[in-house]
Structure 1
Amino acid sequence: MLINQIRRLLLFIFWLLLTIVCQGQQNIVADLKVQGNKKLKSSFVKKIAFIKPGVALDSSIIEEDIRLLKRLPSIAHAYYQVFPAEEPNEYNVFYNIEENFTIIPSANVYTTNDDEFAYRLGLHEFNLFGQNITLGGFYQKDIFDSYAINLRAPFLFSRKLGLAINYQNLTTQEPVFFDNTTADYRYNNESIELLGLFQFNFTNRVELGVSFFTEDYEYLFGATNPNVPQELVVDKLLYKLIYEYNNLNYDYQYVEGFRSIFNFQYVHSRNDEMLPDFLIGWNDFQYFKRFGKRGNWANRLRFGVASNEDTPFAPFAVDNNLNLRGVGNLIDRGTAAIVLNTEYRYTLYEKGWFALQGNAFIDAGSWRNPGGDFGDFADSQNLRVYPGLGLRFIHKRIFNAIFRIDYGVGVTENSTQGFVFGIGQYF
């Protein structure tokens, strides 16, 4: 018995000494160096990186840093190198940065065979002060004038904590549906929003905040109803929660992986009789798959539902710049929606900074009518399917510099067709 105890003690001492020796030989990061960046601050890269001087050299952590960097709007591409330092078992890690040009104009133009025409022009700086802060705004002409200003600083306080502030004054001509009839209203929404941004880890983040806004409905033309006011101004308070799971991996214009964005809102109204409080939520599921060197399959599935199913002022829009290319400009609304966008992108030509990409797509969706039920999704009058073709002109060194042209043709009942122009991928 005593011999066995001595033997176990010797084995424990041997294991302890072996662990100490192995730890003494562990490779350590001597320094993190950032190369290739000009506008982007090296201090910012070091602030958000997991790799720090003195930590263990771990290739999996370095790869996670690189994936994070490639997601940033200021970075077109990133890669790393590891070299021995002066001391034994110590290494210098180099993060090599290829920067994007980040002062970017934006433009969206859309029309249908009904001669509807609208556009949105904007300008954003996506790397203000070299800290990946976004500041910008847009002007929109959609029969009426609209504008907005946005500030977003996801790493303002730390690698995990940031802030966003948004102001908008949007005015559009909106269809309002009731009793199987329709009317058109001038709709204005003026709001200011404050959001806290928190990133739990590489793949999970949340946004939590509040928005104060005023909705103004003014009758223009169409059917009338004594129960539906021709003028209505309501102050509202909106509480918002956004949860995102993002496991996408970027390689210039190519994307691979899965992403889910859940958006939940509680809207409180000061006019509870006409516009009662309601809940609204939707989730976007995105899946991207690479095929060979040039192919990329892209998918987006959205399901959304609102609790105010009896209101004529339904929250989910049918619009060719939002969900169905070629359908028209704000042609319909619903109190629940399910939309699928799927497209195959193929790089037709690529050289240096430029790439030309073609795509074939199918956009399909269905909506629940105001006052209806979920059976409306199966109603042929609510189902819309729009296949089409498009082109992408891509500048690989300028963030989101993708000029797109799509032409969608409806194949369901009473469908339209038309071009949709814009900057950036459709999704």
Structure 2
Amino acid sequence: MRTQLTTIFLFFIIAPYALSQVISEIVIQDNKRTKTGYITSLIDLKVGQSLDSLTLKSDVLRLKREAGIAHAYYQVHLTDQGYKIVYGVEENFTIIPSFNFYTTNDDEVAYRIGIAEFNALGRGISIGGHYLRDIYDSYGAGIRAPYLFNKHIGLAVNYQNLTTEEPVFFNEGTALYRYNNNSIELSGLYQFNLKNRVELGFSLFTEKYDYKSGTISNQAPLNLDVDKHLLKFIYEYNGVDFYYQYSEGFRNVFNAQYVESTNRTLPSFLIVRNDLTYFKRIKKRGNWATRLTLGLATNDESPFAPFAVDNNLNVRGVGNLIDRGTGSVVINTEYRHSIIDKEWFVLQGNAFIDAGTWRNPGGSFRDFTNSNNVRVYPGLGVRFMHKRIFNAILRIDYGVGITPGSTQGFVFGIGQYF
């Protein structure tokens, strides 16, 4: 009898406390363009669950990774029915025009214009298109819906018709080719959880090379027109947290591509690339960022090797597509400091070092230590940022080579370099 009375007494003492730990209401506030239902579908915390601070923090991080959200936070209010959770968001403007220009291999000005909506229908869907004038006309369009079916499964479709003038490097010299790539790609997207996702893609494309000028070599035909298909696998681990323009944490992206041609005289090949990025907050206004890129491909002795040495890809100041290789090791490290940090505007300066080395087509791993293949470029840059417009970062960098035969120059772009 005494045991039963003790049990009843404990029930009446503990039950109200246990009920008070339960989520009774979830409120989304300050979202004007992003749909409330979409935000609710992304968060893990649900009405009826127990209060969990770790889930609250992961929900906020997931929201901050949305293109339409500049910042997110949560509030916890204790009521008679339990806990009321408020998720607050500060939204980005997400219809973004883009413009970029650079100097071509013929010392002409090339430019790219485009427009993209990164939060279409208020559901995190990216859709956009662009036009590129780089001696020739190119264009492309794409749509990406990472949570099309639910918070785990999505799709992406991309179309591109790219025509450029490409330098092709031989032992005897360099030739210029008119290069065209007409492709369509479909990818399935799956997000396991907040930090891990995979992507499987299939692409059909046609490549055309037409000789224009320069060295003629028996290593490559004067003209090439071939249909190919590509299988792509991407695995991403993302442990990066954000506070407006500041980042902290690790991110790793592994990308493997297998390419096969309908022309059986052309060999199939494999391309593997891994990008490891690390961000560290330095006091209040500093951010250190480092990226290590490792790449290997089937080591054919081909002038059309997949890894390029290029201003806009890996080494700032080196020039536009100055060399190619079947393997690469590149490290980019920079310190970013917010000189002016206002409510909506940021002026950021940065000091960087870009260094890389490449394996020659058909070469060996010793090529990575060959001084002729090593390039080191320190430099300085500036960033102009708008905090309420997604990826509204105008980037200007100037890199100076310190290895033999180096160049120097400006690099312009939208968004951080990495």
Relative to the length of structure 1, the TM-score reads 0.92
Equivalent AA in structure 2 for residue 36 of structure 1: D
In structure 2, distance between residues paired with 1:86 and 1:332: 69
Following the alignment from structure 2 to structure 1, what is the Cα–Cα distance between the partners of residues 108 and 32?
Answer: 44
- Of residues 128, 140, 148, the one that matches 1:148 is 140
Of 180, 184, 192, the match for 2:176: 184
One of 90, 99, 115 as aligned partner of 1:98: 90
- Out of 378, 391, 397, the position equivalent to 2:369 is 378
CA distance in 1 between counterparts of 2:113 and 2:315 reads 21
Write the deviation string for residues 217-239 of structure 1: whole angstroms up to 9, x where unpaired. 11111111234210001101100
Q: Answer yes or no: is the 8 Å Cα contact 1:113–1:418 preserved in 2.
A: no
> What's the counterpart of residue 258 of structure 2?
266
What residue number does 2:340 align with? 349
Residues 19-61 of structure 1: CA distance to partner in whole angstroms, max 9, x if unpaired? x947944611112111001010000000111011111111110
1:329 partner SS: coil
| 2:130 corresponds to 1:109 | no
Displacement after TM superposition at 1:161 (Å): 0.6
Task: Say yes or no: does 1:359 pair with 2:353.
Answer: no
Give the one of 25, 31, 36 matched to 2:25. 31
2:239 is matched with 247
Residue 227 of structure 2 aligns with an amino acid whose one-letter code is D
The CA distance in 2 between the partners of 1:268 and 1:113, in whole Å, is 29
Aligned-pair distance for 1:81?
A: 0.7
Letter in 2 for 1:39: R
Matches within 5 A, 1:2-21: 21=14
Q: 1:257-295 deviations in whole A, cap 9, x for unaligned?
A: 00000000111111232x311111100000000000000
Distance (whole Å) between structure 2 residues aligned to residue 306 and residue 113 of structure 1: 26
The residue type equivalent to 1:315 in the other structure is P
**DSSP-derived class of the 2:62 partner:** helix
Aligned position for 2:43: 49
Name whichever of 153-162 and 325-334 sits farther off.
Answer: 325-334
Q: Given that residues 325 and 360 in structure 2 are in contact (C-alpha distance below 8 angstroms), is that contact kept between their aligned partners in structure 1? A: yes
Per-residue deviation, residues 324-371 of structure 1 (Å, max 9, x unmatched): 111111111111111111100000011220110000011111111111
**Among 387, 391, 411, which residue is 2:402 paired with?**
411
Match of 1:3 in 2: none
Letter of the 1:322 counterpart: L
Aligned length: 412
Matched, 1:336 2:330: no
Amino acid at match of 1:376: D
Q: Measure how far apart 1:135 and its partner are.
A: 0.3
Alignment of 1:245-324 (within 5 A): 245-273=237-265, 275-324=266-315
SS at match of 1:415: coil
Q: Which moved more, 1:286-295 or 1:167-176?
A: 167-176
Query: Structure 1 156/268 Cα, relative in aligned 2: closer, same or farther at 3 Å?
Result: same
Contact 1:116 1:329 in 2 (8 A): no
C-alpha distance in 1, partners of 2:14/2:341? 52
**Distance in 2, Cα, partners of 1:327 & 1:319:** 6
On the 8 A contact 1:236/1:269 being kept in 2, the answer is yes
Counterpart amino acid of residue 367 in structure 2: D
Q: Which position in structure 2 is the counterpart of 1:217?
A: 209
- Of 159, 162, 175, which aligns to 1:170? 162
Q: Which residue of 2 aligns with 1:160?
A: 152
Are residues 115 and 128 of structure 1, via their aligned partners in 2, closer, same or farther at CA, if it must alter by over 3 Å? same
Rounded Cα–Cα distance in structure 2 between residues aligned with 1:127 and 1:342: 31
In the alignment, the residues of structure 2 paired with residue 405 and residue 112 of structure 1 have an alpha-carbon distance, to the nearest angstrom, of 18
CA distance in 2, matches of 1:307, 1:44: 43
Distance in 1 of aligned mates of 2:105 and 2:405: 12
Contact 1:112 1:416 in 2 (8 A): no
Match of 1:196 among 188, 197, 200: 188
Provide the C-alpha distance between the structure 2 equivalents of 1:210 and 1:396, rounded to a whole number of angstroms.
36
Query: CA separation in 1, counterparts of 2:277 and 2:35?
Result: 31
* Structure 1 CA distance for aligned equivalents of residues 259 and 361 of structure 2: 18
Specify the code of the residue in structure 1 equivalent to 2:34: L
Question: Could you say which residue in structure 2 is the equivalent of 1:77?
Answer: 71
Q: 2:379, 2:208 → 1: CA distance?
A: 36
8 Å CA contact retained: 1:75, 1:99: yes
The percent of aligned pairs where both chains have the same amino acid is: 60
Alpha-carbon separation, structure 2, partners of 1:162 and 1:135: 14
Aligned-partner SS, 2:216: coil
Gaps of 5+ in 2: none
Letter in 1 for 2:240: L
For structure 1, the 5+ residue unaligned runs are 1-9
Q: Distance in 2 between matches of 1:24 and 1:424?
A: 48
Q: Shift of residue 107 of structure 1?
A: 2.6
Q: Is the 8 A contact 2:238 2:250 kept in 1?
A: yes
Give the secondary-structure state (helix, strand or coil) at the position aligned to 1:256.
strand
Question: Is the contact between residue 219 and residue 302 of structure 2 (CA under 8 Å) also seen in structure 1?
Answer: no
Deviations 1:305-326 (A, max 9, x none): 1114322211111110111111
Residue identity opposite 2:254 in structure 1:
F
For 2:57, what is the secondary structure of its paired residue?
A: helix
Amino acid at match of 1:247: G
| SS in structure 2 of the partner of residue 381 of structure 1 | helix
CA contact (8 A) 1:324 1:386 kept: yes
Judge conservation of contact 1:178–1:370 (CA < 8 Å) in 2: no
Confirm whether residue 421 of structure 1 aligns to residue 378 of structure 2. Answer: no
- The answer for the alignment partner of 1:125 in structure 2 is 117
